[in-house]
Amino acid sequence: MANRFYPHSIYNFLRIADSNPSKKRILDCGAGGPDPKIAIFNEYGYEIHGIDIDDDQIKDAKEFAKKHKIKLNIMKADMREIPFEDRYFGFVFSYLSLVHLSKSDIGIAINEIHRVLQKDGLCYINFLSKEDKWYDKSQASSPGEIKTEHNGVEEFHSYFDDNEADKYFGNFEIIYKAKIQNFKGKYHNTGRTCILDYIGKKL
């Protein structure tokens, strides 16, 4: 799939994943939308799968797949209950998707990611920093959590201090961690200005 550009964090995860001996089967949690990040792994020989909870996002991803003549294998599912057996994947990632969960539900989702990963498999997860320009402490319903309502559905945006998300990786070795700031106000067309990247290896 020529002439496509992905966030540098995805390229970084691909680079590290390619040096890991785990089976080249990967899951994207939050894989829908008009620009599915899982597509790049298809170009590098991975067996790709994705889950998303939003019908419209899945529809957009299927239209992308049809246009580019690839099979994304995206199904409707909740990352807090991943519908795959234990140790099925060598790699799992979630790109700015867990940020829409409460902090307690993020913990549940990461436990599920751990469950479906093979031993020594890798996960890439990113979080919103409290230094992101959209974080407004005065709107927080609990520390770092901003609750909103969209079309009658309650939504969260969770924001973290620099080392706060370390607590989710007790069953992983953190092999990469970075704080990514963009002072021009964009993070790969998301409008985000400060992201916390993690890559963990399942122990």
pLDDT, tens digit (0-9, with 9 covering 90-100), for 184-201: 545 555 678 899 999 999
Rounded percentage of the chain residues whose pLDDT exceeds 90? 82
pLDDT band at 182 (very low <50, low <70, confident <90, very high): confident
pLDDT band at 155 (very low <50, low <70, confident <90, very high): confident
Is residue 62 within 8 A of residue 83, CB to CB? The reply is no
Q: Name residue 127's beta-bridge partners.
A: 196
Q: How far apart are CA 117 and CA 138, in angstroms?
A: 38
Q: State residue 162's pLDDT score.
A: 97
Enter the pTM of the model: 0.93
Domains of the chain in start order, with CATH, are 8-202 (3.40.50.150)
Q: Which tens digits make up the pLDDT trace of 60-95? A: 999 999 999 999 999 999 999 999 999 999 999 999
Tell me: pLDDT of 166 over 50. yes
Q: State residue 149's pLDDT score.
A: 76
pLDDT band at 141 (very low <50, low <70, confident <90, very high): confident
Q: What are the start-end ranges of the H helices in 31-189? A: 39-43, 55-68, 103-116
State the chain's mean pLDDT as an integer.
92
Q: How far apart are CA 16 and CA 91, in angstroms?
A: 11
